[in-house]
Amino acid sequence: MTADTKTALALAGLALAFVALRSAFLEQLWGRPAALAPVPLADPAFTNTAPVRTTLADLLAKGADTSDYDCYTCHEAGKAITLRFDTNNAVILPKEHADLRIRHGRNDRNDNCYNCHDPAKLDQLLRRDGGKLKLQDSTPLCAGCHGPTYRDWEIGIHGRVSGYWDRRAGQASRLACVSCHDPHAPFFAPLKPAPGPHLLHPPLLAAGPHPAND
Ligand code: HEC
Ligand code: HEC
Ligand code: HEC
Ligand code: HEC
């Protein structure tokens, strides 16, 4: 055998070996890696920025049905209604108002309808200082009793400010108190925390939440 034939044989052998390896890899003769568990997407509720309540002002802005707020479809104009209280001093509601949950404060200290609604004109709000407000402009009403929280809200450390911080670029807007608090039961229910970020490293993922070499 000449040196040339030997070289040719060796090269052909190598080429065959590579072709064999290629088919072996293509066929995945050594098996496939175990499929990764699908990463569940976070519940869209966690990224939803809409406030928890739809207020009368929102309904008016959308031109939606506001009949719930139309007190005088049932009440007689100019006729004050006397509030009725049970033996625990809790207000007794008629079935027409059964959808209202009345619990303002943990000690029920502000459940008197006329602390907020004007007895002489039900669809109007009455501040402690005698100031009258439209039903949809309730933030100054809350301010009348919650001064410190209102001051926090005004400077942007309570509630939520959206829009532009640079006023030359555009307006900033604030959510009204009633966008987050039900005026009749204002306690803000604790929120469920969103899940933490998912581990992206596949070997760690396969090993479960606490890998042995951790
Ligand atoms: C679907 C009919 C209906 C509508 C709409 C309605 N009310 Fe009433 N409301 C009643 C009835 C019935 C009573 C109990 C009878 C009464 O005292 O006149 C009542 C009682 C009340 C009372 C007295 C609660 C108590 O202790 O008995 C207040 C305050 C009141 N309503 C405020 C309002 C205000 C404010 C609005 C509008 C934002 C309104 N209502 C809209 C039917 C209605
Ligand atoms: C007439 C005075 C008065 C007005 C008006 C008033 N509040 Fe209150 N609020 C109180 C008092 C008093 C408490 C504490 C009561 C208690 O501890 O039982 C309270 C408690 C609260 C709490 C704490 C609730 C909790 O369970 O910890 C929130 C939130 C609140 N108010 C929001 C509001 C909002 C929003 C408005 C406007 C729609 C408003 N308040 C209007 C007197 C008022
Ligand atoms: C802390 C203030 C406050 C008190 C106390 C209060 N309300 Fe209201 N109420 C409001 C405000 C503010 C609105 C308008 C909310 C909005 O913009 O969505 C309202 C809305 C309503 C509505 C319209 C429908 C609805 O579901 O909101 C009814 C009816 C009503 N109140 C009845 C009553 C009755 C009856 C009482 C007493 C048992 C009472 N309210 C006590 C502040 C108060
Ligand atoms: C963007 C939503 C949002 C807005 C707008 C908002 N609040 Fe609150 N507020 C909250 C949350 C959430 C809590 C509960 C904080 C906690 O549990 O520690 C709270 C708590 C409170 C409390 C209980 C005591 C305290 O300070 O922690 C009061 C009173 C209160 N808010 C009044 C108001 C008033 C008055 C306004 C309007 C001037 C307002 N809030 C606007 C979300 C809001």
Taking a C-beta distance cutoff of 8 angstroms, is the pair 82, 88 a contact? no
Q: Report the predicted TM-score, pTM, of the whole model to 2 decimal places.
A: 0.85
Read off the pLDDT of residues 20-40 as tens digits, 9 standing for 90 and up: 999 998 888 888 778 877 777
105 lines ligand 2 (CB under 6 A): yes
Q: Is residue 92 part of a domain?
A: yes
Residue of minimum CA distance from atom 18 in ligand 3: 55
Q: Is residue 188 part of a domain?
A: no
104 lines ligand 4 (CB under 6 A): no
Angle at Cα 67 formed by Cα 186 and Cα 120, nearest 5°? Answer: 70
Q: Is residue 37 part of a domain?
A: no
Domain that holds residue 101: 54-180
Q: Is residue 98 part of a domain?
A: yes
* Mutate which of 48, 104, 127, 180 for ligand 4 pocket (most atoms within 8 A of beta carbon): 180
What one-character DSSP code corresponds to residue 73?
G
From ligand 4's centre to the CA of 187, what distance in Å? 8
Overall number of domains in the chain: 1
Q: Is the pLDDT of residue 202 over 90?
A: no
Q: Is residue 89 part of a domain?
A: yes
Q: Is residue 11 part of a domain?
A: no
Using CA atoms, how far apart are residues 180 and 178, in angstroms rounded to an integer? Answer: 5
From ligand 1's centre to the CA of 155, what distance in Å? 36
Read off the pLDDT of residues 111-153 as tens digits, 9 standing for 90 and up: 789 999 999 999 999 999 999 999 999 999 999 999 999 999 9
Position in ligand 1 atom list of the atom nearest CA 119:
29
The pLDDT, as a whole number, for residue 47 is 85
Residue 188 neighbours by CB under 8 Å, 6+ apart: 180, 181
Q: Is residue 129 part of a domain?
A: yes
133 lines ligand 3 (CB under 6 A): no
Q: Is residue 200 part of a domain?
A: no
